[in-house]
Amino acid sequence: MNFQTSISYLKGVGPSRAKLLGKELGIFTYADLANFFPNRYIDRTQFYKIRDLQINSADVQIVGKITGVKSVKQKRGSRLVAQFVDDTGHMELVWFRGVKWIQDSLKINVPYVIFGKVNFFNGAFNMPHPEMELLSDYKKGFKISMQPVYRSTEVLSSRGVSNRVMQKMQQQLFTETQGKFGETLSEKLIRDQGLISKNEAMFNIHFPQSQELLTKARQRLKFEELFFIQLQLVVKNLTNKRKNKGFVFDKIGDYFNGFYSAYLPFELTGAQKKVVKEIRMDLNTGAQMNRLLQGDVGSGKTIVAVLTMLMALDNAYQTALIAPTEILATQHFNAIDELLAPMNIKVRLLTGSSTVAQRRVIHEELENGSLHIIIGTHAVFEDKVLFKNLGLAIIDEQHRFGVAQRAKMWMKNDLPPHILVMTATPIPRTLAMSVYGDLDISVIDELPPGRKTIKTIHRFDSNRLSVFKFIKDEVGKGRQVYVVYPLIKESEQLDYKDLMDGYESISREFPLPDYRISIVHGKMKSADKEYEMQRFVKGETQIMVATTVIEVGVNVPNASVMVIESSERFGLSQLHQLRGRVGRGADQSYCILLSGVKLTKEAKKRLQTMVETNDGFKIAEVDLELRGPGDLMGTQQSGVLNLKIADIVQDSQVVYTARKAAIQVAHSALGHKDPAYKNIWATFGEIMKNRSIWANIS
Q: How far apart are CA 206 and CA 24, in angstroms?
A: 20
In this structure, of 369-373, 425-429, 534-538, 690-694, the range with the lowest mean pLDDT score is: 690-694
- 455-465 mean pLDDT: 94
> What is the percent of the chain with per-residue pLDDT over 70, rounded to a whole number?
91
Of 20-29, 205-214, 294-303, which has the strongest mean pLDDT? 20-29
Residue 587 has pLDDT above 90, yes or no: no
- 624-653 mean pLDDT: 66
Radius of gyration of the chain (CA): 32
DSSP string, 199-219: HHHHHHHHS-SSHHHHHHHHH
The whole-chain average pLDDT of the chain stands at 86
pLDDT at 483 (0 to 100): 94
pLDDT at 20 (0 to 100): 93
- 316-335 mean pLDDT: 90
> What is the percent of the chain with per-residue pLDDT over 90, rounded to a whole number?
49
- Domains belonging to the chain, first-starting first, are 56-135 (2.40.50.140), 254-283+299-423 (3.40.50.300), 455-613 (3.40.50.300)
pLDDT at 693 (0 to 100): 40
Q: How far apart are CA 449 and CA 253, in angstroms?
A: 28
**What are 466-486's pLDDT values in tens digits?**
999 999 999 999 999 999 988
DSSP string, 267-303: PPPHHHHHHHHHHHHHHTSSB--EEEEEE-TTS-HHH
Q: Three-class SS of residue 625?
A: helix
**What are 142-152's pLDDT values in tens digits?**
666 788 989 98
Do 30 and 3 touch, CB atoms closer than 8 A?
A: yes
**What are 392-409's pLDDT values in tens digits?**
999 987 655 655 665 677
Residue 225 has pLDDT above 80, yes or no: yes
In this structure, of 140-144, 579-583, 660-664, the range with the lowest mean pLDDT score is: 140-144
Name which residue leads in pLDDT, 405 or 684: 684
pLDDT at 638 (0 to 100): 41
Residue 427 has pLDDT above 80, yes or no: no
Name which residue leads in pLDDT, 16 or 144: 16
Confidence bin at 440 (pLDDT 50/70/90): confident
DSSP string, 438-464: TSEEEEE-SPPTTPPPPEEEEEEGGGH
Residue 668 has pLDDT above 90, yes or no: no
Could you give the angle at which helices 211-243 and 652-668 cross, rounded to 10 degrees?
50
**What are 41-95's pLDDT values in tens digits?**
887 778 899 998 887 757 889 999 999 999 888 888 888 999 999 999 999 999 9
- 18-28 mean pLDDT: 93
Confidence bin at 591 (pLDDT 50/70/90): very high
Residue 631 has pLDDT above 60, yes or no: no
Of 297-301, 332-336, 500-504, 521-525, which has the strongest mean pLDDT? 332-336
Residue 460 has pLDDT above 80, yes or no: yes
Q: How far is CA 529 from CA 181, 536, 630, in A?
A: 61, 11, 33
- 113-118 mean pLDDT: 90
pLDDT at 24 (0 to 100): 93
pLDDT at 21 (0 to 100): 94
Q: Three-class SS of residue 386?
A: coil
